[in-house]
Amino acid sequence: MKIIHDGRTYVYPMSLTEITLGQAIELEDKIRTKQEDYKTQIDQEEDKEQKQLIQLQWQLENAVDSFSFYTGISSQEVKSNFDVLQIVQAYNAAQNIQAEESKQLNDEKEFEFNNELWCIESYELTPKSKMTFNEFLTAKEMVRQMQELGQGNTNSLLYLCCVYLRKHDEPFTEELIDEDGERMELMRSLPMNIALSVGFFLTSITNLYLKDLLSLREVQETQG
Amino acid sequence: MSNHFEKYGWVSFLSYIADSRIFDISGMNSIDAAKHTKLYPILVWASEKKEKEELIASYYERLNKK
pLDDT digits (tens, 9 = 90+) for A161-191: 898 899 988 888 889 989 899 999 999 999 9
Residue A203 sits at the vertex; the CA angle it makes with A124 and A173, to the nearest 5 degrees, is 65
B6 touches chain A (CB under 8 A): yes
Residue A204 has pLDDT above 90, yes or no: no
Residue numbers in A near B9 (CB within 8 A) = 140-141, 144-145
Contacts of A91 (CB under 8 A, 6+ apart): A62, A63, A66, A67
**Contact flag A133-B14 (C-beta cutoff 8 Å):** yes
ipTM for the whole predicted complex goes beyond 0.95: no
> What does the radius of gyration of chain A's CA atoms come to, in whole angstroms?
20
Query: pTM here?
Result: 0.76
Residue numbers in B near A137 (CB within 8 A) = 10-11, 13-14, 35
C-alpha to C-alpha distance for A93 and A218, rounded to whole angstroms: 43
> What does the radius of gyration of chain B's CA atoms come to, in whole angstroms?
15
What average pLDDT does this structure show over A23-39?
90
B18 touches chain A (CB under 8 A): no
**Contact flag A213-B39 (C-beta cutoff 8 Å):** no
B9 → closest Cβ in A126, A131, A144? A144
A65-101: per-residue pLDDT in tens?
999 999 999 999 999 988 888 899 999 999 999 999 9
Q: Which pLDDT score is estimated for A18?
A: 94
Q: Is B54 exposed, middle or buried (0-12, 13-18, 19+ CB in 10 A)?
A: exposed
The region of weakest confidence among A35-49, A100-114, A146-160, A200-214 is A200-214
